[in-house]
Structure 1
Amino acid sequence: MSVRPAWEMRESGAGVTSWFDVRLSFTDGARVDLLAVLSDTALSIEDVRAEPPLSLDDLAVVAEWIEEPLSEVCGNRLGAGGGTGRDGPARRARPAWPRGAEGRLLAAQEYRAAQQEGVDPVLAVMDATGHSRREALRLIAGARDAGLLAPRHIRR
C-alpha cells in the first residue's frame, strides 16, 4: 500500500484541504487506486478505481483498508476532532439519527425546510443524517410512504 500527498489547497479562513493518492496492491494482482480528501477533520473518498472491479461489500470497507496508512501520512489532522489516538483516523462524524418513525419525521422536516429555502432537499437530508444519497432517498421515500411528505407524482 502506498499513500502520496497529491496536492493541497489553503483558503483564507477556511483551513486546508489536502488530496492523497492511495494505491492498494494485492498479492493476486488486484489493485485499487483512490483519491482521498482531507478537509479540516473530515475524510472522504472522491474517486475509486479498481482492477478487477470491487464488489459492493468490498467497496463498503475500502475506508477501513486505508485508515491506518492515511493516519500515518495525515498526522494529527484526522484525530483533532475525534480523538482517535492509535486506532487511526476518525470516521466521518455522523450526527445521531433516530430510526423508525421519528427518523422519518425528522427527515420530512429537513426536506420541507430545504424546499422552503430553495435548496436541494435531498442534499439537506444527506447533510442532516450523514447518510449517502441512496440512504437519504430511501429515508425520504419512507417519509412519503408514511404520509409525512406529499407523493412524488400526483395521480390523476
Structure 2
Amino acid sequence: MAVWPAWELREHGSVTSWYAVRLDLPDGGRIDVLAVVAGGGVSIEEVRAQPPLSLGDLTALADWIEEPLLEATGVDSRSPYEHLGAPADRHPPAWPRGVEGWRLVAEEYRAAQTEGVDPVYAVMCATGRSRRRSLKLIAGARDAGFLTPRHARG
C-alpha cells in the first residue's frame, strides 16, 4: 500500500487531512482511494478500483486501509468517539424509553458538546440508532426539558 498526502485543513485546533492511497492487488488489480483522516479515524471520500469491488469488499475497504494509513501518517488511532461504540452496530444496545431515555440522551449530548465532538453523532453512537432517530430522541429530550430549546419560534 502506498500513501501520499493530498491536502490538509487546520481549523479551531483540529486537523483534517486527505490522503491518496493506492493498493496494488496480487491479481494485477488496483484500488485508488481518497481517504480523510480526522479525529483518529478514517473516512473514504472516493474509490476507483480495477476490477470493480463487490459491495462486501467496498464496505470492508475502510477497515483494510485504516491501520496502515494511520501508521503511515503517524496519527493517533484513538477516536474521540472510542468510548461511545459504533452507530452501525447490527444490534443496538438496549436504550430506555421515555423520560429515562431522554435524560440519558441529554447527558450524552452535553458531554459531547463539552468534549468538542459532534453531539448528534455521540447520541447515534450511544443509542445505536440512525441519525434521524437520534435527532428524534434529542427533540424528545428538548421537549421534556432536559436540553435547552434550539431557537425561539416566532
TM-score, normalization: structure 2? 0.54
CA RMSD, 1 decimal: 3.7
Could you report, residue by residue, the CA deviation over 1:34-80 in whole angstroms, capped at 9, with x for unpaired residues?
111112323211111212211111112112221332122221x233x
Residue 99 to residue 71, structure 1, CA distance change in 2 (3 Å): closer
Output the CA distance in 1 between the equivalents of 2:63 and 2:93: 28
Residue 100 to residue 64, structure 1, CA distance change in 2 (3 Å): closer
Q: Which residue of 1 aligns with 2:28?
A: 29
Q: Which residue of 2 aligns with 1:18?
A: 17
Q: Which residue of 1 aligns with 2:130?
A: 136
Residue 20 of structure 2 aligns to a residue whose secondary structure is strand
Output the CA distance in 2 between the equivalents of 1:14 and 1:53: 38
Output the CA distance in 2 between the equivalents of 1:54 and 1:95: 30
Q: Is the CA contact (8 Å cut-off) linking 1:71 and 1:78 kept in structure 2?
A: yes
Among 78, 86, 96, the residue aligned to 2:76? 78
Residue 14 to residue 42, structure 1, CA distance change in 2 (3 Å): farther
Could you report, residue by residue, the CA deviation over 1:114-150 in whole angstroms, capped at 9, with x for unpaired residues?
xxxxxxxxxx8666324xxxx837x85xx9xxxxxxx
What aligned pairs does 1:33-112 form with structure 2 within 5 A after superposition?
Answer: 33-75=32-74, 77-79=75-77, 82=78, 93=82, 95-96=84-85, 99=92, 102=95
Q: Is the CA contact (8 Å cut-off) linking 1:42 and 1:93 kept in structure 2?
A: no
Residue 54 to residue 38, structure 1, CA distance change in 2 (3 Å): same
- Structure 2: any 5+ residue segments left out of the alignment? 106-118, 137-154
TM-score, normalization: structure 1? 0.54
Q: Is the CA contact (8 Å cut-off) linking 1:20 and 1:35 kept in structure 2?
A: yes
Aligned-residue identity in percent: 43
Output the CA distance in 2 between the equivalents of 1:103 and 1:94: 19
Task: Name the aligned partner's letter for residue 136 of structure 1.
Answer: S
Q: Is the CA contact (8 Å cut-off) linking 2:30 and 2:49 kept in structure 1?
A: yes
Residue 100 to residue 4, structure 1, CA distance change in 2 (3 Å): closer
Superposed structure 1 runs of 4+ greater than 4 Å apart:
103-107, 124-127
Output the CA distance in 2 between the equivalents of 1:25 and 1:104: 49
